[in-house]
């Protein structure tokens, strides 16, 4: 009867074992993909014309595993474009359309996760004079805690003030004072020390080069 007594001692453990086995994460391998990212997250590319082909650029896809390892999945990811003006294969993006100001989203998917790159096409002269614009409600000398929508504009083919907010990479010079997301939404943190400063930058990846605009300096109230 010794084995019966030993089995009885294990009875309280059985519910816990069954609960763990029913959890979807119990059998997740450390090599499973937790998230995926693409670099760059935005580009501005020249469209094709009757005499020249459109731009061709590269995007890299990187997967983060459950175990914390980074893996280059550029060649294995499933790539797609939501607009026929731009094609993508194994991270190679080609503009085949002939129209400017066409917004395209390219997506990389791997292991049930996905990430996107926002692309804007242009014709004529490349974008220049990138400007970071902030709401008129902000006083740069004394910025209060809150969330503010910034925007990015540029001169494209000689036309000024073309909005390119979704097609730039945003950054903050002082993330302990203010953060900025991929949409240009700036959050001035409540934990920021009064008197500290920050600037917001927007960088456009334009046909293999870059154009950057930097905001005025803001001071926390």
pLDDT tens digits, residue range 38-87?
999 999 999 999 999 999 999 999 999 999 999 999 999 999 999 999 99
Name the domain count of the chain. 2
Domain boundary among 70, 89, 122: 122
In a domain, 151, yes or no: yes
- Tokens for 211, please give them: 């154009």
Q: Dig out the tokens for 17 from the structure.
A: 């074992």
For residues 44 and 30, give the distance between their C-alpha atoms in angstroms, rounded to a whole number.
37
Q: Is 147 left (phi over 0), alpha (psi -120 to 50) or beta?
A: beta
Backbone angles phi, psi at 133, to 5 degrees: -110, 140
Query: What pTM, to 2 d.p., does this model score?
Result: 0.85
Domain carrying residue 152: 128-219
Give the residue from 102, 122, 142 where a domain finishes.
Answer: 122
Give the separation between CA 109 and CA 115, rounded to whole angstroms: 7
Q: What is the pLDDT of residues 183-213, one digit of tens each?
A: 999 999 999 999 999 999 999 999 999 999 9
Of the candidates 122, 144, 161, which is a domain's last residue?
A: 122
Residues 63 and 39 in one domain: yes
Q: Containing H/E element for 15? A: helix 14-22
Q: Residue written as tokens 């503009």? A: 95
Instruction: Please state, in angstroms and rounded to a whole number, the distance separating the CA atoms of residues 210 and 128.
Output: 9
Q: 115: closest CA among 70, 61, 46?
A: 61
């Amino acid at each position: 009867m010794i084995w019966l007594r030993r089995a009885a001692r294990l009875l309280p453990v059985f519910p816990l074992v069954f609960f763990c086995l029913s959890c979807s994460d119990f059998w997740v391998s450390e090599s499973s993909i937790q998230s995926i990212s693409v670099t760059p997250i935005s580009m501005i590319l020249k469209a094709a014309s009757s005499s020249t082909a459109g731009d061709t650029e590269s995007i890299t896809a990187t997967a983060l595993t459950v175990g914390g390892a980074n893996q280059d999945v550029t060649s294995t990811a499933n790539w797609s474009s939501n607009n026929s003006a731009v094609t993508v294969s194994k991270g190679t993006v080609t503009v085949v359309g002939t129209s400017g100001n066409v917004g395209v989203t390219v997506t990389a998917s791997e292991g049930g996760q996905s990430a996107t790159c926002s692309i804007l096409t242009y014709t004529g002269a490349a974008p220049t004079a990138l400007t970071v614009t902030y709401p008129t409600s902000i006083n740069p000398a004394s910025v209060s805690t809150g969330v503010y929508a910034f925007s990015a504009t540029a001169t494209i083919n000689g036309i000024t003030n073309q909005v390119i907010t979704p097609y730039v990479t945003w950054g903050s010079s002082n993330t302990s004072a203010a953060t900025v997301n991929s949409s240009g939404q700036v959050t001035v943190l409540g934990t920021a020390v009064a008197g500290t400063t920050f600037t917001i930058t927007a960088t456009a990846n334009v046909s293999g080069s870059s154009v950057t605009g930097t905001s005025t300096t803001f001071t926390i109230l």
